């Protein structure tokens, strides 16, 4: 196939300055500041950059690795594009879910349900299908009969009645969702996959964010600080989702009122855990309704819930206290929520 013919430009394209800033060699290039990052990403979202420029920009950032300022600027640009009504009640917990599960069942969904069942308003958002072979939250929640919203109005209703709602990225920021689905074309994850975890579109007081690589914890915390996020928890979860791995020690990075602290959630299972043949939702329903005794599933659910409680309930100061509180919520759960 012949490459498309391009017409020479009479003058430099406005977006070219950002590519030049990032790609001008070892001594001439630099990272963008927050304002530059916001301006550049706003142009991407408004479809004001040529497709060649979009790919170059995203991959230069991927090779260089984005900074906290850049990430905050990108999120700022997205938030300016998001049309959100004034919600009558505060969302308690923002739960970004963009990775999907490949090796284990999506037990984190039971943690979200457990928190909602105990009175917290949990807004989950994500994008499905950008990586083949994974079970994404939207499909999993649909199979479990859990609330999925088509717009902010439905999300508001579901949060009021169920305490839980999943809102797809394409429903509130379609331009960003389009950029996220470039992964099969580019062959790599881009900063879009990173910044989506910091979006917090409803401005919830608390946000839980999972990372693929431990080094990204600092990046997310820097962005949260610049965005003045009151409270946020970052950790390396199973497969990139916010799910504590029972077979691993998990370092929790907590931001609360401008102060950063760290703690370790110790492993509860010391034996090797084999991956499942295919992630599914039936085991979640069975565990919730006491129809199975899946030790891994229960441990992952309670540990993930406990980690979120460390964020949501400041009076809980230790992992032991958080685990005990999670067990209490499990014992008090409504067995009919997954009928």
90-132 pLDDT per residue, tens: 899 999 999 999 999 999 999 999 999 999 999 999 998 777 7
CA angle 203, 209, 213 (to 5 degrees): 150
Token pair recorded at residue 230: 């009151």
Taking 60 as the threshold, does the pLDDT of residue 5 lie above it?
no
> Where does the pLDDT of residue 188 fall: very low under 50, low under 70, confident under 90, or very high at 90 and above?
confident
Taking 80 as the threshold, does the pLDDT of residue 193 lie above it?
yes
Taking 80 as the threshold, does the pLDDT of residue 87 lie above it?
no
Dihedral angle, C-alpha 129, 77, 109, 276, nearest 10 °: 40
* Average pLDDT estimate for 134-141: 96
* Average pLDDT estimate for 192-221: 94
State the pLDDT at residue 1: 45
Share of the chain above pLDDT 70, in %: 96
State the pLDDT at residue 300: 98
- Mean pLDDT over all residues of the chain? 93
Taking 50 as the threshold, does the pLDDT of residue 333 lie above it?
yes
* Average pLDDT estimate for 235-248: 96
Distance of alpha carbon 69 from alpha carbon 131, whole angstroms: 27
CB 125 within 8 A of CB 209: no
State the pLDDT at residue 28: 87
State the pLDDT at residue 27: 84
pLDDT one-digit tens code per residue, 305-323? 999 999 999 999 899 999 9
State the pLDDT at residue 8: 67
pLDDT top residue among 170 and 25 = 170
Distance of CA 279 to the CA centre of its chain: 19
Taking 90 as the threshold, does the pLDDT of residue 133 lie above it?
no
Token pair recorded at residue 155: 């999300």
Distance of alpha carbon 245 from alpha carbon 225, whole angstroms: 26
CA angle 155, 182, 82 (to 5 degrees): 30
CB 152 within 8 A of CB 85: yes
Dihedral angle, C-alpha 188, 191, 196, 198, nearest 10 °: 140
State the pLDDT at residue 131: 77
Distance of alpha carbon 235 from alpha carbon 108, whole angstroms: 13
State the pLDDT at residue 32: 97
> Where does the pLDDT of residue 25 fall: very low under 50, low under 70, confident under 90, or very high at 90 and above?
confident
State the pLDDT at residue 183: 87
Share of the chain above pLDDT 90, in %: 85
* Average pLDDT estimate for 175-201: 92
* Average pLDDT estimate for 152-175: 96
* Average pLDDT estimate for 195-214: 94
State the pLDDT at residue 284: 98
pLDDT top residue among 284 and 83 = 284
Q: What SS3 class is residue 283?
A: helix
- Total-model pTM: 0.94
């Amino acid at each position: 196939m012949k490459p498309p013919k391009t017409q020479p430009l009479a003058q430099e394209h406005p977006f070219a300055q950002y590519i030049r800033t990032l790609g001008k060699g070892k001594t001439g290039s630099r990272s963008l500041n927050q304002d530059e990052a916001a301006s550049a990403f706003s142009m991407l979202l408004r479809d004001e950059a040529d497709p060649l420029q979009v790919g170059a920009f995203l991959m230069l950032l991927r090779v260089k690795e984005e900074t906290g300022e850049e990430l905050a600027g990108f999120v700022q640009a997205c938030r300016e594009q998001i049309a959100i009504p004034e919600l009558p009640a505060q969302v308690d917990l923002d739960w970004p879910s963009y990775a999907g599960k490949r090796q284990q069942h999506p037990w984190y969904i039971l943690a979200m349900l457990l928190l909602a069942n105990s009175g917290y308003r949990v807004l989950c958002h994500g994008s499905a299908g950008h990586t083949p072979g994974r079970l994404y939250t939207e499909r999993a929640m649909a199979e479990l009969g859990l609330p999925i919203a088509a717009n902010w109005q439905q999300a508001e209703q579901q949060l009021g009645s169920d305490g839980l709602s999943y809102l797809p990225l394409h429903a509130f920021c379609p331009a960003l969702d389009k950029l996220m689905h470039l992964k099969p074309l580019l062959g790599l994850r881009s900063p879009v996959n990173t910044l989506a975890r910091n979006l917090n579109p409803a401005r919830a007081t608390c946000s839980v964010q999972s990372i693929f690589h431990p080094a990204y914890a600092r990046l997310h915390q820097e962005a949260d600080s610049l965005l003045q996020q009151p409270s946020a928890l970052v950790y390396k979860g199973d497969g990139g989702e916010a799910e504590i791995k029972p077979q691993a020690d998990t370092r929790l990075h907590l931001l609360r009122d401008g102060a950063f602290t760290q703690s370790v959630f110790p492993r509860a299972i010391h034996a090797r855990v084999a991956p499942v043949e295919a992630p599914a939702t039936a085991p979640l329903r069975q565990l919730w309704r006491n129809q199975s005794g899946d030790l891994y599933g229960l441990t992952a659910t309670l540990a993930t819930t406990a980690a979120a409680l460390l964020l949501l309930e400041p009076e809980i100061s230790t992992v032991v206290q958080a685990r005990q509180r999670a067990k209490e919520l499990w014992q008090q759960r409504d067995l009919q929520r997954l009928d």
